[in-house]
A and B are shown apart, each in its own frame.
Chain A
Amino acid sequence: MARSTKTIPGDETIHHISPRKKREAPKPKMQPPMTPMIDVTFQLLLFFLLTMTFREAEGIIPGTLPGGPVSGVDVVDLEKIEISLRPAGEGCLYEIKGLNVGINSPAELYARLKARQAAIGSAEAPVVIKPAPDIGWEFVVEAFNQAMRAEFKNIGFATSS
C-alpha cells in the first residue's frame, strides 16, 4: 500500500500528500540540442586552425628616392659616404668608399658607419647606398637599416645605371 503521509525529521506533524500530487508527472528537463552547434563550432575551429598562417610584424623605414639630391642640405660642404654592395656567394660584401675594406656583417657595417660619423662630426653627412644590380633586396635593406641605426639623417640610393 502506498504511503499517503510524509515525515520530516525533527517535525512531528503528519503531512498528507494528495493522490493528485503523487500522480504529478516529473518536471521536464530543459536541454537545448547542443550537438549541431558544437559540430559546427569544431568544423570552423579546425578550418581556421588549418588555414591560419602567422604573419610577422612588419614596419617601415623612411627614406628618399634616387634621382634627385639626397636631401635638402648643402651636400657640397659635407663628405659623402658611399656604401657599395656587391654579391659574394650567397651573401653580400659591403664597402665604404675610401676605406678599401670588405665588410661582410651588418654589425661591422654599423660600427664603421658610426666611426665615420664620429670622424666627420655630423650625422647630416649624406649616405648613398650603391647596390650592384644583382644584389638581393635583403642586403640593400640591411645597409639602409644600419645607416638609419647609426642615426644618419640623409640616406639615399644611387641608381645602378
Chain B
Amino acid sequence: MAKSQVFKKGRGEASFNMTPMIDVTFQLIIFFIIAGQIASESLAKLIPPKPYESVSQEADKQIPNRVIVNILSRDPDRKSNDRGLSGQASEYKIGSTSFDVGDTEELAEVLGIRRDRAEAAGYEDFFVEIRAHHTVFYDQIEPVMLAAAKAKIPKMSITARMQTFEMDE
C-alpha cells in the first residue's frame, strides 16, 4: 500500500540546540576567570604568618579605606635551603604595581596619593595593611612601615592567618 502524501515526513523530532548554551557557558567562565583575577590582584600569592592562638579578625571588605602592601620573598618555598635568601624580599606590591625593596620615597608617594583619594571619598580611618610572606626579615618590612609613617598614615594592620578549629601547635 502506498504511503500517505500528507504524512510522508512523519512527526518532527524535538531536540534542543545546545550550541548557544555552551557559548553562553564559556562566556560566563571567561568572565568569572577575569573577574577573579581582578579581585585577587590586591592579594599577591604569599603565605602570611600563622601565629599561635591568632587574634586576627576578618577585614572589612571595603578596599578604599585601606591599601594592602604585599611583601614577597625571594625564595618563598626555601628551595635554596638558605634562610638569608628566603628572608630577602623580592618586591613590594600594591595591586599590580611593583616597587623596589627599600624604595621608601616612591612607596610613600603612592601611599599618600591613596590616602588623599580615600579622604576625598569620605573615608576617615584610612590604614595600611602589611601583608608579608612569613619568612621575610623585619628589616625588609620596616621601610614599608616608615613609608606609611612618612605618608602620614598612623594606622597599620598586619595580615595573619586566622585561628581555625584545627590544632595550631
Tell me the A residues contacting B by CB distance below 8 Å. 25, 27-28, 30-33, 36-37, 40, 44, 56-68, 85, 90, 106-107, 110, 131-138, 140-142, 144-146, 148-149, 157, 159-160
Contacts and interface: CB of A to CB of B under 8 A. Distances in A.
Interface residues of B, number: 58
A89 B50 CA distance: 19
Given A59-B162, A61-B54, A138-B49, 7 more contacts: A40-B22, A58-B48, A60-B56, A60-B160, A61-B56, A133-B142, A157-B145
Contacts of B11: 25, 27-28
Q: Is the interface of A mostly helix, strand, loop or mixed?
A: mixed
Interface string B112-156: 000000000000000111011111111101100110110001111
Contacts of A62: 127, 155-157
Nearest to B11: A28
Closest 4 CB pairs of A and B: A59-B56, A133-B139, A145-B51, A138-B49
B164 interface: yes
Nearest to A105: B52
Interface string B33-77: 000000000010000111111111111000000000001000000
Contacts of B162: 56-59
